[in-house]
Amino acid sequence: MSGSIRLFVDTPLRAGLEFDATAAQAHYLGSVMRRGVGDIVHIFNGVDGEWRARIAALKRDKLRFEVGEPLRPQMPGPDIWLVFAPLKRDATDLVVEKATELGVSALLPVFTERTNTARLNEDRMRAIAAEAAEQCERLTVPRLAPARKLLDVLGDWPPGRTLAAALERQDAAHLRPARGPSALLIGPEGGFTPLELDALRRHPLVVPASLGPRILRAETAAIAGLALLLAPACG
């Protein structure tokens, strides 16, 4: 399937189904990629696997797909979440893109006392995650949770899911590959406050983790930490 155009669609998929692409997808296929009626695209929705689809109609920014045969069945992926303090726009975009490529199942932005941004463009984040999933040939797009305060997220953290907290200058064991449902917490550039550190230490499912001897930028820490946590699932 190398070189094929892949698109994430928000509709149930079955053979023979016809449905309309979004205006953005129609513009991308027709005007940017110069595809026309009869050309083949691979589509997936995160539930029904990957399918071959034919462009059945195309006029300006209106395009209609006809679903053909299945290409890949849906397979379960790693159950790993990324909990992260949003950064400046470009850095946040990078974290979302690389976390998607590495295989996280959910993205949970959290506001901390030292988070250096107060607003998030969630539509932009979803679009970046979808585009990354299309490019890296995964069959799902990570769920994007609404941004919340860190202490609120800790207060109703789900039982049975370990949260590895990447803490700078702390006496913690090196991060190990995940065993079962897990998550990685990456704080802001300024680090966690004493109140937040105390809440993390007292939480029964939080495990302090080290990413090595160097002080990493937050976006670097997210990528490095996920690579370590997802090691058994990659490849």
Looking at the chain, how many residues does it have?
A: 235
Total-model pTM: 0.91
Tell me which CATH homologous superfamily contains domain 80-233. SPOUT methyltransferase, trefoil knot domain (3.40.1280.10)
Select the CATH number that applies to the domain covering 6-72 from these four: 2.40.240.20, 3.30.870.10, 3.40.50.150, 2.60.40.420.
2.40.240.20
Q: How many CB atoms within 10 Å of residue 223?
A: 20
DSSP H or E stretch at residue 10:
none
d(CA 69, CA 60): 27
Q: What is the pLDDT along the chain (235 residues), one digit of tens a residue?
A: 445 899 999 999 999 999 999 999 999 999 999 999 999 999 999 999 999 999 999 998 899 999 999 999 999 889 999 999 999 999 999 999 999 999 999 999 999 999 988 889 999 999 999 999 999 999 999 999 999 999 999 999 999 999 999 987 667 788 888 889 999 999 998 899 999 999 999 999 999 998 888 888 999 999 999 999 998 654 3
Question: Domains of the chain: which residue ranges?
Answer: 6-72, 80-233
**Strand 50-59, strand 40-44: pairing:** antiparallel
Instruction: Report how far apart, in Å, the C-alpha atoms of 116 and of each of 110, 146, 164, 189, 219 are.
Output: 11, 17, 22, 8, 13
* N- to C-terminal Cα separation, the chain: 17
